[in-house]
């Protein structure tokens, strides 16, 4: 590549960086004040593109396009304010996980609403009036619109910086970022402050989305892609730093642009297509930054958010009653194959439930006792599923080998990602794990030649005798029992205690010689490995695997299962997974808009039990208000 | 005592299922310095937070400056002229001294009888706290514990309060700063401010307070004038000192 | 040999010298108090000794071995116990499990994946709890305890690895005067029995003057005085920067 081509790509990267900046900065601002990671921020961005498309195509000329962009930003800002007032305001005091879940429910609802309003087709807007041309830069044609984008990012950065540094609103935002309760105690109406910050963040996301209308088609998958990108930008730039957000956006956009710019390079002995490495490059940038600066380039360690979750009871061995119950349930499950003749679907459902149990139990292992709120457990499910399926596809491996490799592939992935994840905590960890899962998903999607891309891998059927569903059911049952008992045993052993010690108090654990990061890393890897078993079983149970089945949705399914059952009990994930899998199989598949339905169910749960379901039960049966 | 600034009737508070306060009754008169004393965990801080509306689960009636504030939000309570200085200071460490003061800024206000309440500006506060005057642009996290303690009081005064809840001003700061803090409280009292103080250190409390309520396990066990408490070694031994 | 010797220790934050060329020793069996105004560098000094911070320069010799820059867990393994200003225990565990954790770690048994913790080192843990008078609470969740009792648990945990040096950051912070004296008396008794040295920071002058064998005073990052209670009490400079007139505490009124 010539030097001028290199510079040209760099310019291109700058225009992409502006888009990344708009979405990341709003996310960061909102988190700073409200301490809520708004996963629906990507959805607001997506809505921006759709709404701007509608304006631009229904009103002619500059007014429809440019006026439409301004109107879109305002509309999305108002929508953000409404979301804050109607939903988030009610859950500020709820446990962090519930807040994340609520905003994810919004993602589902907004996605289906968009599908309903605009349909499933990609919609490409018109080119921007007045900026349709291109100018010549370094001997190439740079669209004038891209040049406009290059400047608008820094312009907004400067405006925001000025507003935060010099105005009373900015001072209040900075103060509330640190201690919102104290700001209230000094006579500041926090509700107004929160709503306005949320509206501002949403407005920026809407603006960012609207500005893309001339460059990229409005697409229903934008929401999660955008939030994944935003998480990476925020983690790299440092939470709460708007300059950091721009810096990180530039770095990431540049690295991607250069990968594409370099294109196919022939090293003589091997040809490498660098444009396929954009995701790997993004990952490497993030990895490098996190090693050097765990809180991002310009970030600072955040003060721990005061935990308001219900305190946890010490763990006790199973009571005789629980043991009896477990034996009865197992006996019933063993009887299930007897019904295979009359209702074969029952066994399929049983297999689904058991796979969900392994998935949820392994997630609970790191989330509950480990305190690591992974939002990307689907990654290890996917590595297990694809590990097994690809082995069958390319090497014709027998099922036994494939099921052995599934956890090993997941374990390897969890070791790699976990190494970074355990360096963070709380919402940072949640964002990072989600970003990792997005990377696995996208890698599977992009690497078409190896993974089959969006078509996935098909024909992964179990050999006889496992082709009979009752035999496969028994295999799944045995593996599920083994996984659950193994994880439980670990929790009662010194290793499990050390993991909880690290969660309860890092300071104290380190002061008695426990290497908390190492313990948590190992735990993360073990959970990933066990989750891989679920993935491997899934591939054989369905006979196929596609990127769709390992998307963010699956990670969130896991979270809902764990929270449904109660994060503080060891049997919780088993109950939660069973309930949720049954619900999903029976109710959810009845409608095309099942995402919205799921989202609404989650919202109802969160609003009805803002203290968590376990907390609600404790309040119900508790001795509150006793004199 | 002429008129009552703050009256607390049957105040109770809970943290989740745990009850912390049991039907507290006390009051603070205009221009008076009243100390809540008791050991750690007795409920002093919880009492202040409950008055300030910072504890969701509370019962009882709190009357401030003639109005019922029991069901108001913290910011509404602050806007009625009730200042709060928390024990852990909670200054905004990423903001400068001047910016911290600005966050606390509220318009001047009058007492019900029309006399103006003491009102403050950064420059008048810098006279009260000369240390702060030397560092108007210093960021909070660069300040020592003692300086932070002064800033948190100054920040509250920027709201021109009629009464200040002062939670453990002597905890965790050097004796020299404690002494300065005592002098400040005496100054503020002279200006006509009322103060409800929570304190464990009897040597400090006796320098500044008029009356005392002794708390133990969320209940008031003794009340009386500071001089009576100073003479009553039994009470001191039972609830406070060695 | 001294248990601990600090030489020319310095640490700066953004140009501000928080600790500036500090040197002192802790002798075997000594109960040494470090006092000084807020921001004098006590916490910074303490955090360098316990491994939380790496010094810019200087040496920290634990029985002759330089431990400057080591991680907290490495320093713990060399025989340094710690208690925190805000007591920290494992809230989801019982009292005895808290102590068992320290014993498990001391025995190098953290990476055991099979045998249940329940009976591991329980007897020894109960014995340690007995020494701090908390055996009766052994099987209660540690988060249910009163603050003063949590401090005792911390002490039992800190003693679990048979330390030669105990670092206590404001051991009596947040406690009522009566509890303060009981706790410090307990610490003093235990360390005398075991021959452990103690370095502690403290704002309660009553405690310092009653129990410390020797006192060092820090101000603006430097040691400005080093001596016994009487010498420190009469030191004009210490009065000027720290004590004031002494009317806000009882012990200093000479």
pLDDT (mean) for A531-548: 95
Q: Poorest-confidence range of A200-209, B51-60, C166-175, C222-231?
A: C166-175
pLDDT at A450 over 50: yes
Contact (Cβ atoms closer than 8 angstroms) between residue A259 and residue A278: yes
Chain A CB contacts of C161 below 8 Å: 512-513
What average pLDDT score do residues B125-150 get? 89
Asked if C247's CB is within 8 angstroms of B203's CB, the reply is yes
> CA A36, CA A586: separation in Å to the nearest integer?
32
Stretch A134-160: mean pLDDT, rounded? 90
What is the complex's ipTM, to 2 decimals? 0.93
Q: Which residues of C touch B217 (CB under 8 A)?
A: none
Kindly state the greatest CA–CA separation across chain A: 83
Report pLDDT for B154.
96
Q: How many Cα atoms within 13 Å fall on the side-chain side of residue B150?
A: 29
The DSSP call for residue A498 is H
Question: Cβ contacts (< 8 Å) between A501 and chain C: which residues?
Answer: 90, 93, 101
Of residues C248 and A145, more confidence is placed in A145
Q: Residue A193 has which token pair?
A: 């402050």
Q: Are B164 and B156 in contact (CB under 8 A)?
A: yes
**Tokens coding A262:** 């370099």
Nearest chain C alpha carbon to B39: C176
Residue B227 predicted with pLDDT over 80? yes
State the pLDDT at residue A615. 54
**Per-residue pLDDT at A626:** 35
pLDDT tens digits for A240-281?
Answer: 889 999 999 999 999 988 888 877 777 777 777 777 777 778
- In this model, does residue B241 exceed pLDDT 60? no
Residue A499 corresponds to which tokens in the numbers above? 């993991």
Does C135 score more than 60 pLDDT?
yes
User: Nearest CA to B193 among B101, B62, B14, B65?
Assistant: B65
Q: Which residues are CB-contacts of A493 (< 8 A; sequence separation ≥ 6)?
A: C112, C113, C114, C115, C116, C117
**pLDDT for the residue C173:** 76
Nearest CA of chain B to the CA of C242: how many Å?
5
Question: How far from the centroid of its chain's Cα atoms is residue C109's Cα?
Answer: 25
Comparing alpha-carbon positions, the chain C residue that sits nearest to B143 is: C39
* A376, A593 contact by CB (below 8 A): no
Three-class DSSP category at B215? strand
> Which residues have C-beta within 8 Å of that of residue C222, sequence separation ≥ 6?
C20, C21, C22, C41
> Which of B40, B41, B172 is opposite residue C203, by nearest beta carbon?
B172
Q: How far apart are the first and last CA of chain A?
A: 79
With bands split at pLDDT 50, 70 and 90, how would you rate the model's confidence at C136? very high
Distance from CA of A188 to the nearest CA of B (A): 5
Contact A29, A200 (CB under 8 A): yes
H helices present in chain C, as ranges: 42-49, 72-77, 95-106, 122-131, 147-159, 177-194, 205-211, 229-233, 236-238
pLDDT of B163 reads 96
Q: How far apart (Å, rounded) are the C-alpha atoms in residues A434 and A229?
A: 10
Percent of chain A whose pLDDT exceeds 90: 48
User: What is the total residue count of chain C?
Assistant: 254
Start-to-end CA span in chain C (Å): 35
pLDDT, mean of residues C25-36: 92
Retrieve residue A457's tokens: 């891998």
Q: Which of A90-99, A284-293, A303-312 has the lowest mean pLDDT?
A: A303-312
pLDDT score, position A303: 52
- Kindly determine whether residue C161 and residue A513, on different chains, have CB atoms separated by under 8 Å: yes
Outline where DSSP puts E strands in B38-96: 58-64, 67-68, 82-85
The Cα of C165 is separated from the nearest Cα of chain A by a number of Å equal to: 13
Could you tell me if A163 and A169 are in contact, meaning their C-beta atoms sit under 8 angstroms apart? yes
Whether C92 and A504 lie within 8 Å, measured CB to CB: yes
Cβ–Cβ gap B90/A189 under 8 Å? no
Compare all CA atoms of chain B with the CA of C178 and give the residue at the minimum distance. Answer: B242
User: Which residue in chain C is spatially nearest to B216 when comparing CA positions?
Assistant: C176
Instruction: Give CA A65 to chain center in angstroms.
Output: 33
| Residues B73/A184, Cβ–Cβ less than 8 Å | yes
Q: What element of type H or E holds B177?
A: helix B175-190
| Segment B164-191 mean pLDDT | 89
**pLDDT at position B242:** 39
Bridge partners (DSSP) listed for residue B194: B163
**Test the C interface: residue of B175, B177, B236 with most C CBs within 10 Å:** B175
**Partner residue facing B94 (CB), from A178, A181, A190:** A178
Task: Compute the distance between CA of residue A335 and CA of residue A342 in angstroms, rounded to an integer.
Answer: 13
pLDDT band at C238; cut points 50, 70, 90: confident
CB A250 within 8 A of CB A13: yes
Could you say which DSSP state residue A534 is in?
H
- ∠C204-C209-C213 over CA atoms, to 5°? 120
Most confident of A399-413, B85-99, C161-175, C221-235: A399-413
Count of CB pairs separated by less than 8 Å, B with C: 86
Q: Output C192 or A49, whichever has higher pLDDT.
A: A49
Chain C CA closest to residue B175? C243
Torsion of CA A443, A444, A446, A450, to 10 degrees: 120
C:122-151 residues touching chain B, CB 8 A cutoff: 146-148
Q: What is the per-residue pLDDT across C72-112, written as a single tens digit (0 to 9) for each? A: 999 999 999 999 887 788 999 999 999 999 999 999 999 99
C-alpha dihedral sign at A142, A146, A150, A152? positive
Quote the mean pLDDT of chain A: 87
Q: How much is the CA Rg of chain C, to the nearest whole Å?
A: 19
pLDDT at position C253 is 37
With bands split at pLDDT 50, 70 and 90, how would you rate the model's confidence at A305? very low
Average pLDDT in the A300-328 region? 72
**With bands split at pLDDT 50, 70 and 90, how would you rate the model's confidence at A617?**
low
Is 50 exceeded by the pLDDT of residue A510?
yes
């Amino acid at each position: 590549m010539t030097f001028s081509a290199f510079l040209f790509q760099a310019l291109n990267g700058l225009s992409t960086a502006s888009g990344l900046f708009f979405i990341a900065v709003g996310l960061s601002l909102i988190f700073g004040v409200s301490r809520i990671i708004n996963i629906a921020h990507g959805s607001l961005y997506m809505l921006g593109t759709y709404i701007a498309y509608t304006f631009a195509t229904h009103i002619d000329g500059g007014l429809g396009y440019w006026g439409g962009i301004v109107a879109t930003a305002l509309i999305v800002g108002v929508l953000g304010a409404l979301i804050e007032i109607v939903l988030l305001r009610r859950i500020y005091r709820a446990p962090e996980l519930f807040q994340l879940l609520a905003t994810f429910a919004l993602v589902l609802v907004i996605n289906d609403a968009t599908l309903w309003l605009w349909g499933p087709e990609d919609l490409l807007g018109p080119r921007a009036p007045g900026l349709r041309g291109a100018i010549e830069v370094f001997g190439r044609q740079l669209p004038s619109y891209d040049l406009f984008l290059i400047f608008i990012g820094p312009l907004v950065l400067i405006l925001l910086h000025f507003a935060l540094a010099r105005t009373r609103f900015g001072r209040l935002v900075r103060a509330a970022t640190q201690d919102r309760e104290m700001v209230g105690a000094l006579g500041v109406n926090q509700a107004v402050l929160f709503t306005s910050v949320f509206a501002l963040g949403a407005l920026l996301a809407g603006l960012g989305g609207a500005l893309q209308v001339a460059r990229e088609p409005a697409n229903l998958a934008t929401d999660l892609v955008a939030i994944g990108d935003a998480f990476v930008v925020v983690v790299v730039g440092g939470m709460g730093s708007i300059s950091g957000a721009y810096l990180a956006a530039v770095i990431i956009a540049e690295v991607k642009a250069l990968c594409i710019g370099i294109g196919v390079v022939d090293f003589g002995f091997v040809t490498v297509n660098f444009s396929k490495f954009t995701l790997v490059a993004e990952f490497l940038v993030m990895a490098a930054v996190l090693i050097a600066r765990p809180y991002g380039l310009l970030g600072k360690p955040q003060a721990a958010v005061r935990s308001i979750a219900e305190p946890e009871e010490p763990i006790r061995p199973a009571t005789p009653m629980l043991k009896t119950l477990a034996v009865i349930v197992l006996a019933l499950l063993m009887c299930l194959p007897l019904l295979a003749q009359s209702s074969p679907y029952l066994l399929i459902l049983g297999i689904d439930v058991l796979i969900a149990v392994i998935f949820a139990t392994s997630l609970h292992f790191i989330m509950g006792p480990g305190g690591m709120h992974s939002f990307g457990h689907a990654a290890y499910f996917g590595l297990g599923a694809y590990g097994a399926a690809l082995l069958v596809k390319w090497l014709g491996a027998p099922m036994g080998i494939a099921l052995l490799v599934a956890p090993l592939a997941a374990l390897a992935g969890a070791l790699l990602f976990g190494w970074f994840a355990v360096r963070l905590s709380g919402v940072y960890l949640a964002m990072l794990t989600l970003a990792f899962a997005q990377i696995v998903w996208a890698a599977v999607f992009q690497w078409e030649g190896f993974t089959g891309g969006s078509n996935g891998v098909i024909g992964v059927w179990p050999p006889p005798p496992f082709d009979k569903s009752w035999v496969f059911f028994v295999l799944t049952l045995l593996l599920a029992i083994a996984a659950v008992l193994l994880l439980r045993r670990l929790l009662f052993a010194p290793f499990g205690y050390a993991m909880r010690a690290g969660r309860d108090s890092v300071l104290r654990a380190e002061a008695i010689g426990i290497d908390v990061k190492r313990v948590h890393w190992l735990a993360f890897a073990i959970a990933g490995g066990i989750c891989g078993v679920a993935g491997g079983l899934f591939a054989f149970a369905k006979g196929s695997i596609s990127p769709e089945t390992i998307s963010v949705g699956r990670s969130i399914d896991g979270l809902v299962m764990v929270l449904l059952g109660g994060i503080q009990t060891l049997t919780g994930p088993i109950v939660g997974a069973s309930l949720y899998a049954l619900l999903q199989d029976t109710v959810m598949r009845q409608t095309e808009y099942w995402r919205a339905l799921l989202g609404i169910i989650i919202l109802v749960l969160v609003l009805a039990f803002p203290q968590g379901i376990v907390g609600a039960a404790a309040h119900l049966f508790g001795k509150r208000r006793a004199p | 005592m002429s008129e009552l600034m703050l009256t607390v009737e049957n105040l109770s508070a809970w943290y989740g299922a745990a009850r912390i306060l049991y039907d507290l009754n006390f009051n603070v008169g205009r221009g008076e310095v009243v100390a809540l004393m008791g050991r750690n965990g007795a409920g002093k801080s919880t009492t202040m937070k409950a008055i300030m509306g910072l504890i969701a689960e509370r019962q009882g009636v709190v009357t401030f400056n003639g109005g019922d504030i029991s069901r108001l939000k913290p910011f509404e309570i602050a806007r009625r002229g009730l200042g709060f200085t928390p024990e852990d200071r909670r200054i905004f460490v990423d903001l400068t001294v001047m910016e911290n003061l600005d966050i606390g800024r509220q318009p001047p206000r009058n007492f019900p009888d029309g006399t103006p309440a003491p009102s403050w500006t950064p420059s008048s506060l810098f006279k009260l706290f000369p240390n702060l005057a030397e560092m108007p642009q210093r960021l909070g996290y660069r300040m020592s514990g003692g300086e932070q303690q002064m800033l948190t009081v100054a920040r509250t005064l920027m709201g021109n309060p009629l009464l200040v809840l002062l939670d453990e001003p002597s905890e965790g700061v050097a004796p020299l700063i404690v002494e300065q803090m005592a002098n400040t409280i005496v100054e503020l009292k002279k200006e006509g401010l009322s103060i409800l103080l929570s304190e464990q250190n009897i040597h400090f409390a006796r320098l500044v307070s008029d009356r005392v309520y002794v708390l133990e396990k969320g209940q008031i066990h003794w009340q009386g004038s500071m001089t009576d408490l100073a003479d009553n070694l039994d009470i001191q031994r039972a609830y406070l000192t060695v | 040999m001294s248990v601990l010797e600090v030489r020319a220790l310095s640490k700066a934050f953004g140009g501000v010298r928080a600790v500036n060329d500090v040197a002192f020793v802790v002798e075997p069996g000594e109960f040494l108090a470090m006092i000084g105004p807020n921001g004098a560098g006590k916490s910074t000094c303490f955090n360098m000794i316990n491994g939380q911070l790496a010094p810019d320069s200087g040496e920290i010799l634990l029985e002759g071995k330089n431990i400057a820059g080591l991680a907290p867990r490495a320093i713990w393994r060399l025989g340094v116990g710690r208690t925190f200003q805000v007591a920290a225990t494992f809230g989801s565990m019982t009292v005895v499990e808290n102590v068992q954790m320290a014993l498990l770690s001391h025995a190098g048994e953290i990476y055991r994946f099979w045998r249940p913790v329940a009976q591991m080192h329980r007897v020894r843990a109960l014995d340690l709890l007995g020494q701090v008078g908390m055996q009766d609470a052994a099987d209660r969740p540690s988060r249910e305890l009163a603050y003063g009792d949590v401090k005792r648990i911390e002490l039992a945990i800190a003693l679990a690895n048979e330390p030669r040096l105990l670092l206590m950051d404001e051991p009596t912070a947040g406690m009522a005067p009566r509890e303060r004296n009981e706790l410090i008396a307990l610490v003093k008794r235990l360390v005398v029995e075991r021959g452990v040295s103690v370095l502690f920071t403290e704002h309660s002058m009553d405690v310092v003057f009653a129990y410390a064998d020797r006192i060092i005073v820090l101000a603006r990052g430097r040691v400005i005085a080093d001596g016994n209670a009487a010498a420190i009490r009469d030191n004009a400079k210490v009065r000027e920067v720290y004590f004031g007139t002494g009317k806000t505490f009882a012990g200093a009124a000479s």
